Structure 1
């Protein structure tokens, strides 16, 4: 071994000794929480299931005791509550919307099977997934249990209720709009599963149109340009918009380049801006 090779070997060995791999933090540190939020739990008589409610309060909530606030009832709170805290905070800072209460609806328990539970609650009819079709029960829970609780305890404004969801949540949002249109002021339907149960939503809207000329709500629909639901989503919006419902204010966007999950930040941002403008 020549002197250069020996020196190189010594350098490698010394670096290995001097730079050990950093150890992971211990499990004793506290978890990160969303500032200004709290968790409530409700056992529903309508569905028989327990729900955790992630509740974001406006910055001035504890100072203005008599003020009422718009409330966004957010489906899939286990995934999207932190996102909406950020989106709402940014839009409030930029004066694009007033501060609001956000109620993220999710399921109780550390081992909750979110995919299976949401497939039950967010689907309006029984379909290919086992246990699906509890949408009517879940809508009853929101109407008769959740809304009275929120408006009684968090000063929710009954004239500014918003329902928002994505995928199966978008399906449920549109189902709720055609079933109980006056229950909410605004509806945010992201990437709605139009194809559920042989195009259930298409048939529901067509039946609604035969009986109603008025639909006095605000609706925003968004879908990613790179997802499979873009084609049925665009087709649904074209048919729906041609009805010219009285009192309806709506907008829809195909968000270029986004897939099924990545569409959510821009969908909720644009949707909330539309509702409050």
Structure 2
């Protein structure tokens, strides 16, 4: 009968109690556990090993305006590789709405754009809500939009723009060497609506805005009003994806057609992106928009 292991172990422990052998067994088990643990996933993420993301910094910032969001904004900053080479150089800065998705996407993509000299050295700033749930503080539907009778919670664009111009942009300029005359905003979908709002009716000191597939389907008439007079209006790049949903595409085409007929001093570029849909167009819109803005 085979009962050697159980009997021997019991015999050793219960009858003879060999301390040296027990120590040896415990050491062996610990070594096996340690060896197995070396292959277990680490709870600490080695961000530096994702070299395409570059040098990333993070802080939180709250809006102090009335009717503000209750949750802080999560601000991520990617510095250009050249940043520490000279303290005399100030950099154009790209602000990304929906930073929770767009920042990791474009912070890595930027390294390719720089390698091919498609864009200048940039400071990239991502503005994130930290989640996709409006119940947990994702207020994009409020922050990025003007009013509409179809959605009572829309209409926070003015307050959000004040947060950008009064809180975030000064904070970034205080912390980093920003070329204050070359600050660019990127927005996709509802973020694209906000990009148009700040250029047409706002005050934030952006040099240019990029609006990728702006969603104007619930408040198109608002964006056909006369523009606010400004000493320096931001340049506007607007992209429309070939296969964008008609719900978004048709109002944007209507808006483009309307403003092309108006006598407005406005430097703009309307771009049709073939083969793309509402979301796949974002990287192309960013690249094309930045190349146009900086004449690359």
After TM superposition, the score normalised by the length of structure 1 is 0.80
Deviation at 1:196, TM superposition (A): 2.5
* Partner secondary structure for residue 183 of structure 1: coil
Change (3 A) 1:114 1:125: farther
Measure, in 1, the Cα distance between the counterparts of 2:249 and 2:168: 32
Question: For structure 2, which runs of at least 5 residues remain unmatched after alignment?
Answer: 1-38, 48-52
The residue number in structure 2 matching 1:220 is 237
Deviation at 1:108, TM superposition (A): 4.5
* Partner secondary structure for residue 121 of structure 2: coil
Question: Residue 74 of structure 2 is aligned with which of 38, 49, 52?
Answer: 52
Aligned partners of 1:213 and 1:245 also within 8 Å: no
The residue number in structure 1 matching 2:36 is none
Change (3 A) 1:220 1:198: closer
Measure, in 2, the Cα distance between the counterparts of 1:141 and 1:181: 11
Deviation at 1:186, TM superposition (A): 0.7
Q: Which of the two has higher C-alpha Rg?
A: 2
Deviation at 1:95, TM superposition (A): 1.9
The 5 Å alignment of 1:104-183 reads 104-108=126-130, 116-129=138-151, 131-180=153-202, 183=205
After TM superposition, the score normalised by the length of structure 2 is 0.75
Measure, in 2, the Cα distance between the counterparts of 1:241 and 1:103: 32
Measure, in 2, the Cα distance between the counterparts of 1:184 and 1:198: 23
Name the count of aligned residue pairs.
Answer: 247
Question: For structure 1, which runs of at least 5 residues remain unmatched after alignment?
Answer: 1-24
Question: Residue 31 of structure 1 is aligned with which of 45, 52, 60?
Answer: 45
* Partner secondary structure for residue 143 of structure 1: helix
Superposed CA offset, 1:55-113 (max 9, x none): 11011112221211111111000011122223322222222221111111012579775
Report which stretch shifted further, 150-159 or 92-101. 92-101
Superposed CA offset, 1:212-264 (max 9, x none): 59864321101211112222222211221232433x33212121121111111
Moved over 4 A (4+): 108-116, 211-216
Measure, in 2, the Cα distance between the counterparts of 1:265 and 1:109: 21
